[in-house]
Structure 1
Amino acid sequence: MRAKLEVFATVLGFIGLIGTVVVTAIPMWRVSAFIGANIIVMEELWEGLWMNCYRQADIKMQCKVYDSLLILPPELQAARGLMCVSIVLVVISLSVTGCGTKKSSCCDDDMKSKNITIALGGSLYLLSCLTTLIPVSWVGHTVIRNFYNTQVMDSQKRELGEALFLGWATSGILLIAGIIFLFSYCKRSSKEEEPSTEMSLMAGKDGLKANSVYLERTPSSFYKQQEYV
C-alpha cells in the first residue's frame, strides 16, 4: 500500500511540474475587466509574466514580449523569479524522490539512505508549493484590491486570469505530494525502530544470562556420613 502511495505521489509530482511550467508560460495572469454599459467589446488584453497579448474581434491574437523587466509591477517581477525557482524545485524533488521510493534500484537496499532522500524530496515539494502559492496569491490580491479601488481608472482595472486559478490548483497538488512522501518517511522510520527495540531487548536478556552465575549444589560431608550409617 505504501509503495502505491509513493507512485501516486510521483504522478502528482509530474502533474505539478507540468502545471508550474504552464502557469509560468501562459500570458493569462491578468485579463482586462469589462466594466460599463457597453456590452460589445472590441479588444481584450491579457497580461502575463513574459508578454502581453491583444485579441481583437475577427483578428488573430497579437502578443508582444515586454521590452524591459522594469516596466512590470513589483508583483509580476517577483512572480517571474519565484515561478522559475518553483520549476527547478519540482524537477529536483522528482529526481530525489525517484531515488527514495521502494521500487527504485538506487541506493541498493540501504533503507536509511532511501528514507533520507524521500524526506528531502517531500520537503522540497512543500517548498515548491510555497514558491508557487506566494506569487499567484500576491498577484491575485493586487488584482482584487485595484478592482475595488475607486481611484483606479476603469481602463486600468483587471480581473483574475486563468493562470492564477491553475496556479492555486498546482500548489495544492504539490502540497499533497509532499505530505504523502513525508507520511511514507514517518511510517518507514517507525518500522525501522521496532526491530531495533526488539533486538535491544533480546540483547539485554542475553546479557543477563551471561552475567548470571550458575551455582552447583555439592553434597556436604555430613550427608556422606549419613549414607554410611
Structure 2
Amino acid sequence: MASAALELAGFFLGLLGLLGSLVSTVLPYWENTAHVGSNIVTASGTVKGLWMECVHQSTGAFQCETFNSILALSTDLQASRALMVVSLVLSTLGLIIAVLGMQCTVCLEESGELKKRVAGAGGCFLLTAGFMTLVPVSWTTNKVIQNFYNPNMPATLKFELGDCLYLGIVSAFLSILGGGMLAASFCEGQEGGGGRGRRHGGGYPYPVGGLPAVRNPNTLQMGGMNVNSRGQTMGPSVNGTPGADHVKPVAAGYDVTGYV
C-alpha cells in the first residue's frame, strides 16, 4: 500500500506541475516593466512572455501583440520556447505512461514486473520534464536580474521578475518531486518483491502431522532394556516404552543424528 500511495501522490504532483508549466508557457507575465529612476512612460506597464508582448494603458486598455517572426527573436527566447514545449510533451507522456503502470489501474495487470517498470518510466519522463522547465525559467530569471542591476542599462529597458517565472519554478519542482515519487515506488516494489513467500520469520515450517516426536537423546533402547549414553541401565521397557520411574525430562540439545 505504501507503493500505491507514493504512486498516487507522484501522479497528482506531476499533474499540478504540468498545469503550472502550461500556464507559465501561455501567459505573457515573464517580465514586467520596472518603474525605477527616470522611467516615465505613458503606459502603466509592459509585460513580456514567450509568445507575445502586452501593454497595459493608463486608461485601462490591455493590448497584446504576438511575435510574428521567429527568426527575429533572440536566441535565448527561441531556446526557452523549445524547452517549454518539449517539457509539456514529456509531462503529458509521463502521466499517460504512469497511469498504465500504477497499481490502482487495471491496465497491464497480468504483466507482473512490466507494470512496475512502466510506472518507473513515467516517473523518469516527469523528472526530465521538470528539469527542462527549470532551465528556461532560471535562464530568464538570471537575465532579468543582471539587466536590472546593470548600471549601463537604460531605465526604460529594465524589467522585473514576472509571476510566470515564480509559477514556473514551483511547477518544475512539483514535476521533479512527482517523478521522483513514481521512480521511488518502482524501486520499492523491486526490493519488496524478493521477500514474498517467506513464512515463520524465514524458518522451516513444521510437517503437516504436527510436531515431531521427541525422544531422550541420552537413551538408547537395546532389547528389553533402556541404556543411556553413559552406560547406565534404566530398567525394562514395556512395549518399547521406558518405565515411568526412569523417564528423564527432555533436555534441550541435539543428538548425534542432528534431530531434537
TM-score, with length taken from structure 2:
0.72
What secondary structure is seen at the aligned counterpart in 2 of 1:49?
Answer: coil
Q: Which residue of 1 aligns with 2:94?
A: 93
Q: Equivalents in 1 of 2:69, 2:81: separation in Å?
A: 13
Q: Which residue of 1 aligns with 2:7?
A: 6
Cα deviation digits, residues 71-113 of structure 1 (max 9, x gap): 3222211110000000000000000110111111111232311
Q: Which residue of 2 aligns with 1:52?
A: 53
Q: Identify which range, 116-125 or 33-42, moves more after superposition.
A: 33-42
Q: Which residue of 2 aligns with 1:216?
A: none
Q: Structure 2: which 5+ runs fail to align?
A: 204-260
Shift of 1:191: 1.2
Q: Equivalents in 2 of 1:109, 1:41: separation in Å?
A: 67
* Within-5 A mapping of 1:138-217: 138-195=139-196
Q: Which residue of 1 aligns with 2:67?
A: 66
Q: Does 1:20 align with 2:21?
A: yes
Which residue identity does 2:142 align to in structure 1? H
Shift of 1:41: 6.7
Q: Say whether the 8 Å CA contact 2:38–2:155 is kept in structure 1.
A: no
What secondary structure is seen at the aligned counterpart in 2 of 1:63?
Answer: strand
**What is the RMSD of the two structures over their aligned residues, measured on CA atoms?**
2.1
Which residue identity does 1:82 align to in structure 2? L
What secondary structure is seen at the aligned counterpart in 2 of 1:71?
Answer: coil
Q: Does 1:75 align with 2:76?
A: yes
What secondary structure is seen at the aligned counterpart in 2 of 1:69?
Answer: coil
Higher helix fraction: Structure 1 or Structure 2? 1
Larger Rg: 2
What secondary structure is seen at the aligned counterpart in 1 of 2:47?
Answer: strand
The higher-RCO structure (CA 8 Å, 6+ apart) is 1
Q: Which residue of 2 aligns with 1:110?
A: 111
Shift of 1:137: 0.2
Q: Structure 1: which 5+ runs fail to align?
A: 203-229
Cα deviation digits, residues 14-42 of structure 1 (max 9, x gap): 21111111010000111111112678974
Higher strand fraction: Structure 1 or Structure 2? 2
What secondary structure is seen at the aligned counterpart in 2 of 1:46?
Answer: strand
TM-score, with length taken from structure 1:
0.81
